[in-house]
Structure 1
Amino acid sequence: MVKQLYTKQAIENLIETNKTCMILKHSLTCPISANAYDVYQEFADQTEIPLYIVHIQEARELSEQISEVFDIKHESPQVLYVNNGEVAWHASHFDISRENLMQAVRG
């Protein structure tokens, strides 16, 4: 199940409470992002890792904060694999695939 993030406090809580998770920064208007969203939703059925989503048009400040906190250039769509409070892997656009998501969590 993918949970939506809305606030800056949410990302702070997420970092404090989850050793491992993934975050998808998703544009509601981009066809490439729509494809990444579909891949992410399918991946949700295949993993135990907590998955989160940020709709960048609805939570632009949060999206920017995520880029700042993890020191990762903002892109959309973009997936961040967070492990122990740090980004262990990230991908954007057509690099967001089921195979790449699976490989990221395997290490």
Structure 2
Amino acid sequence: MGILNSFFGKSSSDNKEEKSLVNWIPLRSIDQLKEIEVLSNKEPIAIFKHSTRCGISRMVIQRFESSFDQSLKDFKVYYLDLLNYRELSNEIGYKFQVIHQSPQLLIIKRGEAVAYASHYDITNIDLKSF
């Protein structure tokens, strides 16, 4: 198949998965919300709420990852698996006064959600501006 692939424009490097520059931090407990609030006083923090069974969510998270470049490698992004942590997602909504959506990205700064978006609008948030 290697020769056929070379005729049709596929190379062995097409099969290699690129490593994401996103600094994913699993979000699994309500205690971490206090940590996020404290950290956000020094630097902006992102929370990405993702539904692992949703095709739109999967596409959006791929676009989000591909939008990261070297300048954003230290931007902390908390990853919330909505299916396993729905109560935590609800608490995020209460704490940061943002109605639940999926997928959803929140930017937390000084303990408040200063920006948020859902679905395809997530990639419109310019993380470099924070």
| 1:106 maps onto 2:121 in alignment | no
Shift of 1:41: 2.3
User: Deviations 1:33-70 (Å, cap 9, x if unpaired)?
Assistant: 10121123234444132111100111111110000001
Q: What is aligned with 2:46? A: 22
Q: Relative contact order, CA 8 A, sep 6+: which one is greater?
A: 1
Contact 2:39 2:45 in 1 (8 A): no
TM-score by length of 2: 0.73
For structure 2, list consecutive stretches of 5 or more residues without a partner in the other structure. Answer: 1-22
The size of the alignment, in residue pairs, is 104
Query: Whole-Å Cα distance in 1 between the matches of residues 69 and 27 of structure 2?
Result: 19
Query: Whole-Å Cα distance in 1 between the matches of residues 64 and 51 of structure 2?
Result: 13
For structure 1, list consecutive stretches of 5 or more residues without a partner in the other structure. Answer: none
RMSD of equivalent CA atoms: 1.6
Q: What is aligned with 1:76? A: 102
Q: Percent identity?
A: 29
Bigger radius of gyration, 1 or 2?
A: 2
Query: Whole-Å Cα distance in 2 between the matches of residues 10 and 40 of structure 1?
Result: 22
